[in-house]
Structure 1
Amino acid sequence: MKRLLGCLCALLSAIGITACDYLNVRQLQPGVSTAAEVRERFGPPHMEWRNEDGSTTWEYSRQPEGVECFMITVGGDGILREIEQVLNEEIFARVEKGMNGDQVRRLLGKPASSQFFQLKRGTVWEWKIDDGQAGGEPVYFTVSFNNDGRVTGTGRYTRYRGR
């Protein structure tokens, strides 16, 4: 049964359906599950950060098509400490003017896209935060950077589909 579930998750993820993330998160238990179990369920992380306390945080972004980014922290002992879905209002509020791109990436994970605007002389990163499947339109959170690579502001917009 476990093997069938794994095959089903692999098939669904191959076609872009992230329902398996829900199952994977539920099957992992902070304080009990191991780093090996995390990698078995989520694969290799997109990015790894070493933390001051000896733990490591792994990034599992579902951008550009998904609306989640999991930051999974594993202790120096190889035991899962925390799973956090970081594309939420609490984390968005931590993005402050003056931060650099590395600091923003550490908070929100890899953006869905990055675009440089010549006239504005700045770059905008965006993350899809609502895919509009409930009958609405997709919504994106944005972070604007100046030429020095520092945050100048945040925002959000809705990408309206042609009807």
Structure 2
Amino acid sequence: MRTKALLAALALSLSACATMVDGGFAKLKPGIATVADVETQVGKPNHTWKNADGGQQWEYSDQPSRQVTYMVIIAPDNKVLAVDQVLTREQVYKVKQGMTEDDVRRLLGAPGSKTPNLKNEITWDWNAPDWMDGFRQHFLVYFNRAGRVTRTDILTYEEN
């Protein structure tokens, strides 16, 4: 019985990973898809926010195992307004000094890790997409103890 439960959990986990990669998000057409369509195509989000207009923002982060994070913006009438893969160069350059942790998470999704450093900061780390052929990259955001961005960095290293 326990083995069956573990196998079922593994299958569910693998199907969720496959959805992130196989284009489940591509099937969500803005203005047509609904909340029910989103849940059917890609499952429940990792995190949600309520927007001031009554809509919602849903996060689907696949960090640290993969290099994608999708944000689905839902209108107050429960129709999809936008579906975006947000781990892009353009998005990371929007992170500015003084932003809050919530501001950054809404922009990029959950990081792959959060680690304290010797400068009394917390470092958030995203496994970034291949912005340069043949190199791996990580995008880092450093927060002070008040939860505000102090600086950012992109680490690049050659793949083996």
Moved over 2 A (4+): 10-13, 15-23, 158-161
Contact 1:24 1:42 in 2 (8 A): yes
- Matching of residues 81-96 of structure 1 within 5 Å: 81-96=81-96
**Aligned Cα root-mean-square deviation (Å):** 2.5
Match of 1:4 in 2: none
Count how many residue pairs are aligned between Structure 1 and Structure 2. 150
Contact 1:12 1:18 in 2 (8 A): no
Q: Does 2:121 align with 1:122?
A: yes
Segments of structure 1 that go 5 or more residues without pairing to the other structure are: 1-9
Distance 2:129 2:37 in 1: 29
TM-score, structure 2 as length reference: 0.82
Distance 1:57 1:106 in 2: 8
Distance 1:108 1:26 in 2: 19
Q: 1:13 to 1:101 in 2, by over 3 A?
A: same
Distance 1:145 1:49 in 2: 21
Q: 1:18 to 1:25 in 2, by over 3 A?
A: same
In structure 2, the residue corresponding to 1:126 is in which secondary structure? strand
How far did 1:148 drift? 2.1
How far did 1:39 drift? 0.7
TM-score, structure 1 as length reference: 0.81
